């Protein structure tokens, strides 16, 4: 594959509704490639350009889809990390090296996703409450 900035811009354009892309555009911030679209783009990027992605930390670059009630009580990873923008030029450089080599700042992320645990507990309590209410009506 002939790796050029034009190839990478075309690749990014597949995930963005905006025209006139340039090599220094912030893919998430300016093009609004976010959440599930971002994750899909990064997954396809790794596959298409044969990039070793083990050092990739999603929470520094984007967030998750939707709202989680658990985030009211516990910060999700993307709210604990300082955002690092990614541009098409960054993707070109990474694809040329075939290794995700973004240097992340010192960080401390929890081993467990307490926001997701809280969301699950809230959901279970709501379901059990509904079932209890329905059974009481019978």
Taking only the tens of pLDDT, the chain with its 138 residues reads: 689 999 999 999 999 978 779 999 999 999 989 889 999 999 999 999 999 999 999 889 987 766 766 667 777 766 768 899 999 999 999 999 999 999 999 877 778 877 777 788 888 988 999 998 888 877
CA 15 to centroid of chain Cα atoms: 13
- Looking at residue 77, its pLDDT comes to 67
Which residues on neighbouring strands pair with residue 82, listed in sequence order?
none
The CA–CA distances, whole Å, from 59 to 5, 13, 56, 85, 134 equal 25, 22, 9, 11, 40
- Looking at residue 23, its pLDDT comes to 96
- Looking at residue 82, its pLDDT comes to 84
pTM for the structure as a whole: 0.77
CB 6 within 8 A of CB 86: no
Q: What is the spatial distance between Cα 100 and Cα 78, in angstroms, rounded to a whole number?
A: 19
- Looking at residue 89, its pLDDT comes to 98
């Amino acid at each position: 594959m002939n790796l050029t900035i034009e190839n990478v811009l075309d690749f990014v354009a597949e995930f963005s509704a905006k025209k006139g892309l340039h090599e220094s555009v912030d893919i998430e911030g300016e093009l609004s490639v976010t959440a599930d679209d971002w994750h899909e783009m990064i997954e396809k990027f790794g596959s298409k350009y044969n990039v070793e992605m083990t050092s990739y930390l999603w929470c520094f670059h984007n967030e998750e889809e939707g709202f989680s009630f658990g985030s009211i009580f516990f910060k999700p990873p993307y709210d604990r990390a300082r955002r690092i923008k990614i541009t098409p030029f960054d993707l070109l450089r990474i694809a040329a090296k075939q290794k995700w080599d973004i240097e992340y700042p010192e960080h401390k992320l929890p081993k467990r996703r307490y926001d997701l645990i809280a969301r699950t507990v809230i959901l279970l309590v709501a379901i059990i409450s509904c079932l209890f209410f329905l059974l009481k009506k019978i």
